[in-house]
Structure 1
């Protein structure tokens, strides 16, 4: 197994500090390790979120992981990565805690940082969840614009599973607006895209959306 280069660099800097008397080595090594810790915290939080989606049981370690990642990225001045950590903090509050008020500032901050650093993948997630928030608040026009922006970004990034997920969200909104024909078209496209890329989970979301809105 290959070692992360940041660990190797931290080891070199330890040597420089201890044996060579480099006055800046400890600070530099700490930055390498903080960057690695932030990435690990973010990855752990995402895995814990996936477990929540499967089991629907909150794990308190999820919020701790995302908060730690955001703290470290902010201290490192890494706004590109901080955009992602802020998204996940917003997602945690919106999805796990169902607390839109707590989620909104994190999602807004994520979108702002993502735009500023050209982090288009994170932006696609942030505007998607801001779209959900707008829809829940009854502002379907804004929700549609945000969800469409998310899908457009994911098409540009060649992220078909994400495109399919976005189309399902747009279909659900179309059903709620009484645009049933458009909703069916969107779900047909979502199903085709998800099938082609093997996004089995998204196929289930599409089926559930149809079942929810089409009554016998």
Structure 2
């Protein structure tokens, strides 16, 4: 949510500067930078959500909105200039997520995801740390590093449970089931998907349930 105190302060300081000639009051720009960073991050996330929705319903892959990356980059730059480590971690994660999910470019995504994880740890932001770990796990899975992928997703799942993101737990379990299946542990994969389905049903996480059913369809008889 936009901090309207920052907007009101900027207006008041503008008027004070105009009438008194005191330019020192223009330090309110930092408050506006914080507002701009928040808005850029939120706008970028909405564009990403639209992309995912279109991908789920359209036959062909949707076209990337060119504004999405620039919004996340702007947010990252502003948060960094403000020393807002938590915000920088989140915005950096979304840059990595865009490269991985939208562009399918894990090589570019991974350094951003690793930096986001490190910043999140520094800021004590378990939610962003969990997101970064999940997507690092996805990258490891795609690269065939199954043990590493399992460890990353397991730690992400632990953090998601800790903060109460149970829909996210169920989503991670889908990935863990794919890994178990790839390692020849079909029975374990089925058990993990059954638990994930129970969690997703309670949370009305219909998109996750769809992913669970897709994963089940890939398991050998």
TM-score normalised according to structure 1 size:
0.93
Q: Distance in 2 between matches of 1:4 and 1:62?
A: 24
Structure 1 residues 214 and 9: alpha-carbon distance in aligned structure 2, compared to 1, 3 A threshold: farther
SS at match of 1:198: coil
1:22-171 correspondence runs (5 A): 22-26=22-26, 28-56=27-55, 57=62, 58-171=64-177
Q: Distance in 2 between matches of 1:7 and 1:191?
A: 45
What is the RMSD of the two structures over their aligned residues, measured on CA atoms? 1.7
Contact preservation (8 Å) 2:177, 2:192? yes
Unaligned runs of 5+ in 2: 56-61
- Deviation of 1:3 after TM superposition, in Å, equals 6.6
Contact preservation (8 Å) 2:177, 2:193? yes
Q: Distance in 2 between matches of 1:7 and 1:192?
A: 45
Cα deviation digits, residues 117-153 of structure 1 (max 9, x gap): 1010000000000111111111111111110000000
Contact preservation (8 Å) 2:3, 2:35? no
Q: Distance in 2 between matches of 1:33 and 1:213?
A: 52
Unaligned runs of 5+ in 1: none
Large movers: runs of 4+ above 6 Å: none
Q: Distance in 2 between matches of 1:10 and 1:137?
A: 49
SS at match of 2:173: helix
Cα deviation digits, residues 2-50 of structure 1 (max 9, x gap): 9722212222322332334443321x22111111111111111111111
Matched, 1:174 2:180: yes
- Deviation of 1:213 after TM superposition, in Å, equals 2.6
Cα deviation digits, residues 34-82 of structure 1 (max 9, x gap): 1111111111111111111122321111111111111111111111110
Between 1:166-175 and 1:150-159, the stretch displaced more is: 166-175
Q: Distance in 2 between matches of 1:116 and 1:109?
A: 11
Matched, 1:9 2:15: no
Q: Distance in 2 between matches of 1:17 and 1:77?
A: 26
Q: Distance in 2 between matches of 1:179 and 1:9?
A: 60
Aligned to 1:18: 18
Q: Distance in 2 between matches of 1:53 and 1:147?
A: 21
Q: Distance in 2 between matches of 1:91 and 1:3?
A: 27
How many matched pairs? 214
